[in-house]
Amino acid sequence: MAARSKIQDVSHPQLSETVASLLRDRIMSGQLRPGERIRLEEVAQETGLSITPVREALLMLRADDMVELQPRRGHVVAPLSRQDIVDVFGLQGDVAGELAARVAVSITPDQLDDLRQQHERLRRAAQARQVSRVEQLEFEFHRSINRLADARKLSWLLRAATRYTPSRFYAASPEWRAGMITDHEALLDALEAHDPVTARPIMARHFTDGAERLIKHLDGLGVWNG
């Protein structure tokens, strides 16, 4: 694997999850391509970690069907197609749309005010091009909505599906940041109006638009040409 930027926050207690998150983002953004070998020693050297958390991270990625263990080759990136991305992001949109619709029915003024404050912090971070902060605040915004839906299993299913989302890739894109702000503002208006019929497709589109952006990016890289 070619040298790439060092992992951030390697002192985090969940080192294996930190490495797994880094590799997930690289796989889904095309920095690591289907069939490409991932060498434990190189990842460990790059991140400044021991082999153990890297090995554990690769076990996580095998469970996510992002990495395969092949005889005589070791760990390689699993196959990934355009249709896989359409399918996964479509599932994300369906589940997230349902959660948003439920929140629209039950949200209180105080809860809506908290979401608007979170959105304002996110909007300022996006305008300041603070990529890491945008990534963090976007995650927190959606986590808050999912918690308000009071649907434990659906929220778990969405968290599992969003493992395939290259959040760093999106947060670094000026176009995506602008679209994200527009989507959130439309969603908040629908929540304030207690309008689940409007909230559902707004949230779903937030994910399906992400699929279109990602496929276009991967097409440009020629990921599926090999």
CATH number at residue 215: 1.20.120.530
If you average pLDDT over residues 48-56, what whole number do you get?
90
Are residues 105 and 127 located together in one domain of the fold?
yes
Are residues 120 and 184 located together in one domain of the fold?
yes
Please identify, among 34, 60, 77, the residue that sits at the C-terminal boundary of a domain: 77
Q: Taking all residues of the chain, what is their mean pLDDT, rounded to a whole number?
A: 91
* pLDDT 10s digits, 156-186: 999 999 999 999 899 999 999 999 999 999 9
pLDDT band at 226; cut points 50, 70, 90: low
Residue 128 lies in a domain: yes
Per-residue pLDDT, 12:
44
- The contacts of residue 39 (CB under 8 Å, 6+ apart) are 1, 74, 75
Number of C-beta neighbours around residue 127 at 10 A: 12
Write down the pTM of the prediction: 0.86
If you average pLDDT over residues 75-95, what whole number do you get?
95
Are residues 113 and 36 located together in one domain of the fold?
no
Please identify, among 43, 77, 111, the residue that sits at the C-terminal boundary of a domain: 77
Q: In which domain, by residue range, is 160 found?
A: 82-221
Are residues 93 and 46 located together in one domain of the fold?
no
Residue 4 lies in a domain: no
Are residues 27 and 104 located together in one domain of the fold?
no
Q: Which amino acid is at 182?
A: T
Please identify, among 26, 46, 77, the residue that sits at the C-terminal boundary of a domain: 77
Are residues 103 and 119 located together in one domain of the fold?
yes
Are residues 35 and 114 located together in one domain of the fold?
no
Are residues 59 and 101 located together in one domain of the fold?
no
The domain spanning residue 25 has which CATH number?
1.10.10.10
> For residue 202, is pLDDT > 90?
yes
Degrees to nearest 5, angle at CA 156 with 153 and 160: 140
Residue 88 lies in a domain: yes
- 165: which 2 tokens? 């989302």
If you average pLDDT over residues 85-100, what whole number do you get?
96
Q: Is 201 helix (H, G, I), strand (E, B) or coil?
A: helix
How does DSSP assign 37-94, residue by residue?
EE-HHHHHHHHT--HHHHHHHHHHHHHTTSEEEETTTEEEEPP--HHHHHHHHHHHHH
The proportion of the chain whose per-residue pLDDT surpasses 70, expressed as a percent, equals 93
Report which of 31, 62, 57, 33 is spatially closest to residue 43, judged by C-alpha positions: 57
Are residues 96 and 149 located together in one domain of the fold?
yes
